[in-house]
Amino acid sequence: MSFDSKLTRRTLVVNGLVGATAVITGCATASRNSEIDKLPLVQDDDPVALSVAYYSNTKNVPDDNPLTTSHNVNQKCSNCTHKRAYVGADRIICGTFPGRTVSVDGWCSIYAKG
């Protein structure tokens, strides 16, 4: 067996392991993404949402709620420091609502500029 044939076999084995790892990692990522995609969207009338004055659209935040006095229409979940990750283009994972998602256009009284 020549050096070249050993190198070729070694290269094939290494490449095979790298390829298999990539497939396994890809499957795990797809599975995790699938689970994240299933996270429910918080509704405005949800008890936790009501307790923090969450509104799914910052344009609908009323002025007459004591919890919304700091609100302005440029503040929304997509530019909040509590945003953890996007789920698609229109939802966000936020630490205020574990296991659920909020609208990118939402707002709540915990908002802090990110």
**Contact status: 55 vs ligand SF4 (CB under 6 A):** no
**Contact status: 94 vs ligand SF4 (CB under 6 A):** yes
Distance CA 58, CA 90 (A): 14
The least distance separating ligand SF4 from the CB of residue 11, rounded to whole angstroms, comes to 48
Q: Which of residues 20-39 bind ligand SF4 (CB under 6 A)?
A: none
**Contact status: 100 vs ligand SF4 (CB under 6 A):** no
Of 77, 87, 91, 101, the residue at the interface with ligand SF4 (CB under 6 A) is: 77
| H helix intervals, the chain | 3-37, 47-51
Cα 104 to its chain centre, rounded Å, is 10
Measure the CA angle with vertex 28, ends 12 and 33; round to 5°: 140
Of 44, 67, 82, 100, the residue at the interface with ligand SF4 (CB under 6 A) is: 82
Burial classification of residue 39, based on how many CB atoms lie within 10 Å of its CB (0-12 exposed, 13-18 middle, 19 or more buried): middle
The least distance separating ligand SF4 from the CB of residue 58, rounded to whole angstroms, comes to 8
